[in-house]
C-alpha cells in the first residue's frame, strides 16, 4: 500500500484501488491517473489529498481483495476509485468469477467510503489490444472480451449505485500513437492517463459537492 502522509491536512482523502493501470506501471508517480485527478481537483478548488494506493501490476480481482485484507487498512475516505479486471481477462478467467469477485470489491470500496456508494467511482478496463505489445495477437477477440467484462462491471455499478466512467474508447483511440504508451509498449503514458483523469473530473466534482 502506498500512502500519502499529508492526507490528514486536506478536506477530502482518496483511496485508489487496482492493478498496473492504477499503480502506473512504467510511468512516474505523478503521472498516475489518480494522482493527476487529485491535481485537477485541486485546480478546481477541491481540497483533496493525493491518493493512498493499493495496486500492483498483474493483480486480478481476487488478488486485489487479498491485498486489501492484508494491508489492514481501516481508514474511511472521501473518495474511492476502482479499476480492475484486465488480468482476469488476460488469464482467461470466467465472466462469472469476475462478476462475483468484482461485486465483492464494490462492497469493499463502499466500506472504505464510509458506506456511501455515491463516493465510489469505477473506471472501465482499458483495451490493451491496441497497444504495441499486442501486435500479432487477435485484437478483435481481446476487444470483445474486454467489452464483455466491462459490461459486467457497468451492470454491477448500476446495481450498487456507483458511478462508472468509460475510458475504454480513449484507449482505443490511442492505437498507433506511441506517445500514448509507456516505454514498455503495453501500459499507458501519463498523457493517456491524463485523459482518464479529465473524464473523471466532472463526475468526481459533483460527487464531492454532495
Predicted TM-score of the model (pTM)? 0.93
Provide the angle, in degrees to the nearest 10, between the axes of the packed helices 61-71 and 95-112: 30
How much is the CA Rg of the chain, to the nearest whole Å?
16
What's the pLDDT score for residue 134? 82
For residues 124 and 128, what is the distance between their CA atoms, to the nearest angstrom? 12
- Mean pLDDT (the chain, rounded): 94
Residue 86 · residue 143 · CB < 8 Å? no
51 contacts: CB under 8 Å, gap ≥ 6 = 4, 14, 15, 16, 34, 35, 38, 81
Residue 193 · residue 25 · CB < 8 Å? no
Q: What percent of the chain is predicted at pLDDT more than 90?
A: 81
Cell numbers at residue 185, please?
509498449
Closest by alpha carbon to 167, among 62, 59, 85?
85
Model confidence at 26: pLDDT above 90? no
84 contacts: CB under 8 Å, gap ≥ 6 = 17, 18, 19, 59, 60, 61, 64, 102, 105, 125
Model confidence at 112: pLDDT above 80? yes
Query: In CATH terms, is domain 5-205 a member of 3.30.70.20?
Result: no
Model confidence at 1: pLDDT above 70? no
Q: How does pLDDT run across 132-149, given as a tens digit for each residue?
A: 888 888 999 999 999 999
For residues 89 and 149, what is the distance between their CA atoms, to the nearest angstrom? 8
Q: How does pLDDT run across 168-198, given as a tens digit for each residue?
A: 999 999 888 889 898 887 888 999 999 999 9
Cell numbers at residue 132, please?
504495441
66 contacts: CB under 8 Å, gap ≥ 6 = none
Domain spans of the chain, in order of start: 5-205
The helix (H) or strand (E) run that includes residue 18 is strand 14-18
Across the range 199-208, mean pLDDT stands at: 97
Amino acid at each position: 500500500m502506498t500512502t500519502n502522509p499529508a492526507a490528514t491536512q486536506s478536506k477530502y482523502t482518496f483511496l485508489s484501488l487496482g492493478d498496473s493501470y492504477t499503480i502506473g506501471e512504467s510511468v512516474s508517480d505523478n503521472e498516475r491517473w489518480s494522482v493527476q485527478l487529485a491535481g485537477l481537483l485541486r485546480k478546481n478548488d477541491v481540497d483533496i489529498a493525493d491518493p493512498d494506493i493499493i495496486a500492483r501490476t498483474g493483480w486480478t480481482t481476487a488478488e486485489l481483495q487479498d491485498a486489501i485484507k492484508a494491508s489492514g487498512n481501516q481508514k474511511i475516505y472521501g473518495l474511492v476509485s476502482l479499476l480492475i479486471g484486465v488480468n482476469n481477462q488476460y488469464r482467461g478467467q470466467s465472466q462469472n468469477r469476475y462478476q462475483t469477485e468484482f461485486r465483492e470489491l464494490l462492497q469493499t470500496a463502499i466500506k472504505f467510503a464510509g458506506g456511501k456508494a455515491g463516493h465510489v467511482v469505477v473506471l472501465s478496463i482499458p483495451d490493451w489490444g491496441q497497444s504495441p505489445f499486442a501486435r500479432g495477437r487477435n485484437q478483435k477477440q481481446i476487444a470483445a472480451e474486454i467489452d464483455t467484462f466491462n459490461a459486467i462491471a457497468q451492470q454491477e455499478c448500476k446495481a450498487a449505485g456507483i458511478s462508472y466512467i468509460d475510458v475504454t474508447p480513449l484507449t482505443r483511440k490511442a492505437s498507433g500513437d506511441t506517445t500514448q504508451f509507456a516505454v514498455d509498449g503495453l501500459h499507458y503514458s501519463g498523457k493517456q492517463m491524463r485523459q482518464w483523469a479529465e473524464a473523471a473530473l466532472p463526475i468526481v466534482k459533483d460527487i464531492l459537492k454532495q
